Amino acid sequence: MDKSVLLADDSLFMRTWLKDMLNKGGFNVILEAQDGQEAIQKYKAFSPDILLLDLTMPKVNGVDVLKEIREYDSSANVIICSAMGQKTLIKEALHSGAKDFVIKPYFNHLITILKNI
């Protein structure tokens, strides 16, 4: 499989947890970003296969990151992982081009979702 993944989350604990889960699931986590601005820069520099994106981050929020990345790469595979499960945010993220939305910390189906991309 060997798909490359960029993890964008301001929580080191969450990035570490997700990285471990993804590595066990056969994904290659090549990049991490701790804020939205860093996520955009690393996506543009390395073009990972998948971006796991938190919505609530410093500098640039997840929805704005998603919009900028989709503008840059219309085929970007972005999965939103956020504790912010409000329907309006979910709708905005999906409308803006996210492939799926996973509410933290309920990652039971995350590997399946990623494998289907």
- Domain residue ranges of the chain, discontinuous segments joined by +: 4-115
Mark residue 28 as left, alpha or beta (left: phi above 0; alpha: psi -120 to 50; beta: remaining).
Answer: beta
65-74: Cβ within 8 A, 24+ apart: 65/8, 65/36, 65/39, 65/40, 66/93, 66/96, 66/97, 66/98, 67/96, 67/97, 68/40, 69/39, 69/40, 69/43, 70/96, 70/97, 72/43, 72/44, 73/43, 73/47
Side-by-side strand order, sheet with 78-82 = 28-33, 4-8, 50-53, 78-82, 100-103
- pLDDT digit string, tens, across residues 9-66: 999 999 999 999 999 999 988 899 999 999 999 999 999 999 999 988 899 999 999 9
Q: Which two tokens stand for residue 4?
A: 């490359």
Cα–Cα distance between 9 and 82 in angstroms, integer?
9
- Topology adopted by domain 4-115: Rossmann fold (3.40.50)
Mean pLDDT for the chain overall: 91
Percent of the chain whose predicted confidence (pLDDT) is above 70: 97
pTM above 0.85, yes or no: yes
Q: Which range (29-33, 78-82, 107-111) has the least confidence?
A: 107-111
